[in-house]
Amino acid sequence: MAEIICDDQSTRHINLLIKRLINQGETEFLVKESKARHNLGVAIIQPVDITFDGSVGYYCAGMIDGPTVKIKGSAGWGLAESMMNGTVIVEGCVGNGAAASIRGGTVVIHHDAAARLGVSMKGGLILVAGNCGYMAGFMAQKGTIIVCGNTGEAFADSMYESVCFVGGEIAELGNDAVIEEPTEEDLRFLTLTLSNHLPQENQYLSNDIHKYKRIVSGRKLWNFNKKEREIWREAL
């Protein structure tokens, strides 16, 4: 395992060092003293394992395609933005806009997520073991969001074909979001996903899986028809 001490090095130097070591054949990295730096571990496109031993700042693991990134702390805004594939695990909390515009892969947050989680996601899986802030899932096109705790306002607003599951209370549904009863297949998926991705001591593993709600798009906002103005007025 390659050990990188950030110390007083610039973010650019740290990222270039990681990529240079990958080109030399290294596949496992332990990055120490990250000190909440921004933009760490971005644009990694190889299937390597990177562990940040501490909290990171904004836009960590953005635009990655393949690596497994573990953060032993919390992360700032824009975690894993535009990720194509891979796995990102955060042992703490995350700031605004986590997993925005991801196209694939898995993002696991062991505690809470702030506002605008999974905005405009186009695929992949987002799992939040705690609560999330307002406008999570806004305009999400595909993929799955699981929130074990409670959500903020405007949850799943203007969503397309994504599917969300919530184990706690929904403060407010967004425009055109509809609650459905989970199917037996959904419940099996939730059980397997939670047990595979959350630590055994996590409090949410003991929750009754049947309390989860399934949220999908009502599909009333997909196309505008001027003859249906009243439907739009009611939805908005």
Q: Classify residue 199 by burial, with Cβ atoms within 10 Å: 0-12, 13-18, 19+.
A: exposed
pLDDT tens figures, 106-160: 999 999 999 999 999 999 999 999 999 999 999 999 999 999 999 999 999 999 9
Instruction: Write down the mean pLDDT value for the chain.
Output: 93
- The answer to the question of residue 8 being in a domain is no
pLDDT tens figures, 158-210: 999 999 999 999 999 999 999 999 999 999 999 999 999 987 766 666 668 99
| DSSP SS3 for 66 | strand
- The answer to the question of residue 55 being in a domain is no
- The answer to the question of residue 45 being in a domain is no
- Maximum C-alpha span of the chain: 63
Our count of domains for the chain comes to 1
pLDDT of residue 126: 98
- The answer to the question of residue 123 being in a domain is yes
Backbone phi and psi for residue 106, each to the nearest 5 degrees, phi listed first: -135, 130
- The answer to the question of residue 119 being in a domain is yes
pLDDT of residue 228: 62
| DSSP SS3 for 22 | helix
- The answer to the question of residue 80 being in a domain is no
pLDDT tens figures, 86-106: 999 999 999 999 999 999 999
- The answer to the question of residue 51 being in a domain is no
Contact 23, 38 (CB under 8 A): no
- The answer to the question of residue 75 being in a domain is no
Can you tell me the mean pLDDT for 56-71? 98
Provide the domain limits for residue 136: 93-235
- The CATH number of the domain where 131 resides is what? 2.160.20.60
Q: Which residues contact 166 (CB under 8 A, 6 or more apart)?
A: 146, 147, 150, 151, 155, 212, 213, 215
Q: Which of 37, 24, 25, 28 shows the shortest CA–CA distance to 4?
A: 28
The pLDDT-based confidence of 220 (bands split at 50, 70, 90) is confident
pLDDT above 80 for 233: no
